[in-house]
A and B are shown apart, each in its own frame.
Chain A
Amino acid sequence: MKTIAELNKIRQESLERVNLRHDRKGTRIVVFMGTCGIAAGARPVLMALIEEVNKRNIENVVVTQAGCKGACRLEPTVEVYKQGEEKVTYVYMTPEKARKVIAEHIVSGQIVDEYAIGAYAE
């Protein structure tokens, strides 16, 4: 290895390999993946979220999954927990909607009201 730039390039490329392994701080995005969620298409949503987070190099965001939360009719659902803020529940998610949530809610801090559960409540 002849330059520090080379070292830093490997470091940058390899970060993804290890950056999942931190404690649970910062923002947590939970995809509900019970049978209902998976059947409704939660997995592509999950993968879209992970892709988008990595593409934008957003740090301190963890994308994780959980079981069914009981609102099966609204699946796929995604919840965003930002530190010090109320959680936001997004429903009827798709990969496209997921990307928009990352862009607007996670990056810019603007909750995407139209996908949030409140928009669908009777």
Chain B
Amino acid sequence: MDLFRSHVLVCAGTGCTSSDALKILDAFEALLEKHDLQKEVKVVKTGCFGLCEAGPIVIVYPEGAFYSHIKVEDVERITEEHLLKGRIVRDLLYKESIEEDTIKAIDEVGFYKKQQRVSLRNCGMIDPEVVEEYIAVDGYQALAKVLTEMTPEETIDVVKRSGLRGRGGGGFPSGLKWEFTAKAEGEQKYVACNADEGDPGAFMDRSVLEGDPHVIIESMAIAGYAVGADLGYVYIRAEYPIAVRRLQIAIDQAREKGLLGKDIFGTGFNFDMEIRLGAGAFVCGEETALLNSIEGQRGMPRPRPPFPAIKGVWNKPTLLNNVETYANIPQIFLKGPEWFAGIGTEKSKGTKVFALGGKINNTGLLEVPMGTTVREVVYDVGGGIPGGKAFKAVQTGGPSGGCIPADYLDTPIDYDNLISLGSMMGSGGMIVMDEDNCMVDIARFFLDFTVEESCGKCPPCRIGTKRMMETLDKITEGKGTLGDLDNLERLAKNIKSSSLCGLGQTAPNPVLSTLKYFRDEYEAHVIDKKCPAGVCQALTNFYITEDCKGCTLCKKECPVDAIAGEKKEMHIVDTDACIKCGACVDKCPFKAIIKK
């Protein structure tokens, strides 16, 4: 085997791929060949590193030099300076990794320092399309251990003792689910993996599938052994083409190596896997709708019970776990359930991946121990809010979750704390909002999503969310009354208690939590007919302040000629004619145009 003195890791997750990562890879290959370094330096295509804000990302080991925002043109300098002459190209490094005279390695920068990567541990470290790299980092060792040393009962016991809870949203204890499926009656059983990641802004499952697909294969095989299943289905949305492709490559490689198929490790255990593509309906992330969709039926939920553990795919007992849940399994077996249970809080063990987005400096994926506070995630890992703006709230759990206001910044994040605040863990989406966000508008945004995605099977969700939406529209247009707020609250509670599945049961959460913590903003909309954040168009107008120098730029820019004024004199906006497009604000060099 060739010996390499340096490894160049190029992120080829979805984010970086969409900004030229593949061209950067090609450029490295070409330049290394030109400088005759291809036998010394190896280029590796990896999954997502998590700090998507800084993409495309290139990391050079052994130094751990962390290059961010790399363009194809930069590759030449990195090759000639760093790889050929050993001089790190400082101006291309991630800004935070340079501190006075020293250059910090990737794991020393703020974004990674507080993280503890368990389910993401291989993402960005190995080439997801090479099974040997996964094996080199202890891949399939857990499966070998389980198959050769443990009984199915002992296997389930380990998962139970670890305290692992489902990472897809509900937080149900995984060990119990495994046990129910194992004890269910039936010759034929299945395991399934929920990779129908539908929350807007959440992409941890995609990242695992793209960056470390073999971990899912290994875990599902372990689960199959534990519950007595010989076939696993991965239900993944077709909108994740890179994830689908890499998982298929991984499955093929595992079959070729005999890690899937008949008589694995000579133990007589057979297991194989199939991919099922989803069409991207949010409701198919709900477990019973997902099962229907796997069978080729319309993606609509079934009443529970019976739970999938009793009647799942093709009415056979089925163990269904989420991608992130599976991604924790091998580590639990290699390091022991006590190790896992030692991380996190009393009732929420281990780590959780969050997809951080919205008004935050370090947009990306991070993994922290349960019990980390919201403040640590937003300020220490997330790097705070751009432009020094004030934190207003963080929305967790996507359209099923709620908003957590600034008063609760120091709440340790775990399943139960979030529920008691009126939000939920969900899949781990985290959207940060600052003073410029209108909370009524945010609630409307999420509700708009659930109205679209409601499958229509049960009336509370189908009709109720639509009525809520109409009420919110009224409020944001300045036509709401105080009575609307009470109606909204009552309707929300009814929908929660009477909907068939998780989609309807959680859809009112964004409205309820914003009503609870930001009622003053709702009241400003209905009583004062004002939007305090200046977001709701019908309630805001544009004004020109005394800072106006009369440069006429805004006047020229206005598409409806609603701005009047002579050269070098203060201009005014005709608020009746104004269509509130905001074009003038962007054009004004003196920041003299304000919304209020």
Q: Chain A: how many interface residues by the 8 Å CB criterion?
A: 36
CB-CB nearest in chain A for B63: A64
Please, which residues of chain B bring their CB within 8 A of the CB of A4? 144, 148, 265
Q: Does A58 contact B (CB under 8 A)?
A: no
- Partner-A contacts on B (CB < 8 A): 1, 3-7, 9, 40, 61-64, 84-87, 105, 107-108, 125-126, 130, 132-133, 135-141, 144, 148, 257-259, 263-266
Please, which residues of chain B bring their CB within 8 A of the CB of A15? 136
Q: Tell me the bound Cα distance from A33 to B82 in angstroms.
A: 10
Q: Does A111 contact B (CB under 8 A)?
A: no
Binary contact readout A30-51 vs B (1 if CB under 8 angstroms, 0 otherwise): 0111110010000000110011
Q: Does A13 contact B (CB under 8 A)?
A: yes
Task: Write the nearest CB–CB distance from A43 to chain B, whole angstroms.
Answer: 8
Q: Does A56 contact B (CB under 8 A)?
A: no
Please, which residues of chain B bring their CB within 8 A of the CB of A3? 265-266
Please, which residues of chain A bring their CB within 8 A of the CB of B144? 4, 7
Contact of A67 among B64, B87, B135, B138 (CB under 8 A): B87
Contact at A10–B135, with CB atoms within 8 Å? yes
Task: Write the nearest CB–CB distance from B254 to chain A, whole angstroms.
Answer: 9
Contact at B5–A63, with CB atoms within 8 Å? yes
Q: Tell me the bound Cα distance from A32 to B125 in angstroms.
A: 27
Please, which residues of chain B bring their CB within 8 A of the CB of A16? 1, 3-4
- Partner-B contacts on A (CB < 8 A): 1-4, 7, 10-11, 13-24, 31-35, 38, 46-47, 50-51, 54, 62-67
Task: Write the nearest CB–CB distance from B50 to chain A, whole angstroms.
Answer: 15
Contact at A51–B3, with CB atoms within 8 Å? yes
Contact at A1–B258, with CB atoms within 8 Å? yes
Task: Write the nearest CB–CB distance from A117 to chain B, whole angstroms.
Answer: 19
Question: Which among A18, A34, A46, A67 has the highest number of chain B CB atoms within 10 Å?
Answer: A18
20 contacts between A and B (CB under 8 A): A1-B258, A2-B265, A2-B266, A4-B144, A10-B135, A13-B1, A14-B135, A14-B136, A16-B1, A17-B130, A17-B132, A20-B6, A20-B61, A20-B62, A21-B9, A24-B62, A51-B3, A63-B62, A66-B87, A67-B86
Given contacts A2-B266, A46-B5, contact A24 B135 (CB under 8 A): no
Which 6 pairs, one residue from A and one from B, show the smallest C-beta to C-beta distance?
A65-B86, A14-B136, A1-B258, A14-B132, A2-B266, A62-B62
Contact of A18 among B64, B86, B87, B125 (CB under 8 A): B125
Please, which residues of chain A bring their CB within 8 A of the CB of B140? 7
Please, which residues of chain B bring their CB within 8 A of the CB of A21? 7, 9, 61, 125
CB-CB nearest in chain A for B149: A4
Given contacts A10-B132, A24-B63, A63-B5, contact A18 B126 (CB under 8 A): yes
Contact of A34 among B63, B85, B133, B137 (CB under 8 A): B85
Contact at A35–B3, with CB atoms within 8 Å? no
Please, which residues of chain B bring their CB within 8 A of the CB of A38? 85
Contact at A35–B63, with CB atoms within 8 Å? no
Contact at A18–B137, with CB atoms within 8 Å? yes
Q: Tell me the bound Cα distance from A35 to B85 in angstroms.
A: 7
Task: Write the nearest CB–CB distance from B359 to chain A, whole angstroms.
Answer: 31
Given contacts A20-B62, A51-B3, A63-B62, contact A2 B263 (CB under 8 A): yes
Task: Write the nearest CB–CB distance from A98 to chain B, whole angstroms.
Answer: 13
Please, which residues of chain B bring their CB within 8 A of the CB of A20? 4, 6-7, 61-62
Given contacts A7-B141, A33-B86, contact A23 B132 (CB under 8 A): no
CB-CB nearest in chain B for A64: B62
Contact of B257 among A1, A22, A24, A62 (CB under 8 A): A1
Contact at B3–A33, with CB atoms within 8 Å? no
Contact at A13–B265, with CB atoms within 8 Å? no
Q: Tell me the bound Cα distance from A90 to B349 in angstroms.
A: 50
- Other A-B contacts than A17-B133, A18-B126, A23-B108, 19 sampled, CB-CB below 8 A, are A1-B258, A1-B264, A10-B136, A10-B257, A11-B138, A11-B139, A13-B1, A17-B130, A20-B7, A20-B62, A21-B7, A24-B63, A33-B85, A34-B86, A62-B62, A64-B5, A64-B63, A66-B87, A67-B86
Given contacts A7-B141, A67-B87, contact A50 B3 (CB under 8 A): yes
Contact at B40–A11, with CB atoms within 8 Å? no
Q: Tell me the bound Cα distance from A40 to B265 in angstroms.
A: 53
